[in-house]
Amino acid sequence: MLICPHSGIGNQIGNYVFGQFLIYINAVEYKETPDKNNTNNIGLRFLFLEDETIDRTFVLNKFNTNLIQASKEDVERFLKAETDFRLYFSLINNIKYSKKEYFNSFYKVLTRIRTKYHFYPFKTPALMAKTVSYRDILKIVSNKNLKPAKQKKLIGNVAVCDCYSPIKEFYNQDFREKMKEHFTLKEELDEKNSEVLEKIRACKNSVGVHIRRGDYIGLKIPVVRKEFILEKMRILNEKFNDKKDAAQFFIFSDGIDWAKENLIESGISNLHFININDENHGYLDFSLLNTCCHRIYSASSFSSWAQYLNPYKNSIEFYPEKKDLVIE
């Protein structure tokens, strides 16, 4: 099986975690463990470019992740593998009900195969049927009428790249705790990020505020209303009203000028605008945000994964609902 992490950090994390989830449930159900070469028993490999130039910088390798990159032989085997007839039904459903989403996934897989491995396969129905949704995979692994060997064969010859946000299956507590271990940084922070980290750790009530704007504005994707952010900040100010242990707000945003303009004038104090990492180093912002005790989130995969991977058990967290969003 090929998993294709792509786009921003949230989407990369989503596809990676889905791959790890398949390894996890296989190990639990069939009492199998990774072998001594640190591979896995379902043949799962990751399809990515270290120097990502197609859409966003690849950052999963900055964390303590278990990335087994697909070899040329793995990709060749995937392309030559027989297409099970069941996959054609999935293809028809994917095209019929989510045409844009499906073709986006197929394009991501095909582009990486062409760019990294220099295979140029024809877009035949047989090949297209092997790019499936994560929902299709969940149906296969939950089908008790399929023998384990058949399940493995079915999922062994497909590619997936459309799991972006946490799904209910990921909330198994044991699995979730394991994933938190995967998303600790490998590298030491540089001086500027270390200074921010020390500031966050010095606060009893640090609050990470994630404000997602950037390309959402041009794409007309809903963003969080200013009123939602300010309301939640005031709630935390009232809760932590002891001057010594007052809430300290650490704001992370790809629209930092907007954040300054709209938050400074609100009269809320203890604001720290973090603007030291460019888009290629957003994983550092992710790690810093995840160090904050409490959180105010945006409606984005970045925020949803920060919430899922939150290492604190007693955090106060605010995630926006549909009524808290606006298209600007």
69 vs 36: which has the higher pLDDT:
69
31 pLDDT band, cuts 50/70/90, is low
For residue 36, what pLDDT is reported?
Answer: 39
Mean pLDDT of 35-63: 77
Alpha carbons within 13 angstroms on the beta-carbon side of residue 47 total: 29
Residue 35 has pLDDT above 50, yes or no: no
Find tokens 């099970």 and name the residue: 84
Give the range among 32-46, 77-91, 203-217 with minimum mean pLDDT: 32-46
104 pLDDT band, cuts 50/70/90, is very high
Average per-residue pLDDT for the chain: 92
For residue 243, what pLDDT is reported?
Answer: 77
User: What whole-number distance in Å separates Cα of residue 210 and Cα of residue 199?
Assistant: 17
Q: Residue 229's closest CA among 276, 264, 195, 194?
A: 264
User: What whole-number distance in Å separates Cα of residue 146 and Cα of residue 141?
Assistant: 8
SS3 325: strand
Q: φ, ψ for residue 280 (rounded to 5)?
A: -70, -15
155 pLDDT band, cuts 50/70/90, is confident
Mean pLDDT of 44-70: 88
Residue 37 has pLDDT above 50, yes or no: no
With a CB cutoff of 8 Å and minimum separation 6, the contacts of 323 are: none
- Global pTM? 0.93
Q: Are 3 and 44 in contact (CB under 8 A)?
A: yes
Q: Residue 160's closest CA among 8, 19, 286?
A: 19
Residue 151 has pLDDT above 70, yes or no: yes
Residue 29 has pLDDT above 90, yes or no: no
Q: Express each pLDDT in 198-234 by its tens digit.
A: 999 999 999 999 999 999 999 999 999 999 999 999 9
With a CB cutoff of 8 Å and minimum separation 6, the contacts of 288 are: 193, 196, 197, 200, 208, 250, 252, 274
How do 223-224 and 325-326 pair as beta strands? antiparallel
Characterize 48-76 residue by residue with b for buried, 16 or more Cβ atoms within 10 angstroms of its Cβ, and e for exposed: beeebeeebbbbbebbebbbbebeeebbe
41 pLDDT band, cuts 50/70/90, is low
Give the range among 46-60, 183-197, 289-303 with minimum mean pLDDT: 46-60
Mean pLDDT of 46-60: 84
Distances (CA, A) of 259 to 23, 68, 231, 253, 273: 41, 39, 15, 7, 8
Q: Positive or negative CA dihedral for 52, 56, 62, 65?
A: negative
Q: Are 247 and 270 in contact (CB under 8 A)?
A: yes
Q: How many CB atoms lie within 10 A of CB 317?
A: 15
For residue 149, what pLDDT is reported?
Answer: 79
User: What whole-number distance in Å separates Cα of residue 26 and Cα of residue 193?
Assistant: 38
Q: What percent of the chain has pLDDT over 90?
A: 81
Q: Positive or negative CA dihedral for 299, 300, 305, 306?
A: negative
Residue 117 has pLDDT above 90, yes or no: yes
For residue 25, what pLDDT is reported?
Answer: 86
User: What whole-number distance in Å separates Cα of residue 133 and Cα of residue 103?
Assistant: 11
User: What whole-number distance in Å separates Cα of residue 35 and Cα of residue 11?
Assistant: 28
Residue 34 has pLDDT above 60, yes or no: no
Q: Express each pLDDT in 229-249 by its tens digit.
A: 999 999 999 999 887 899 999
52 pLDDT band, cuts 50/70/90, is low
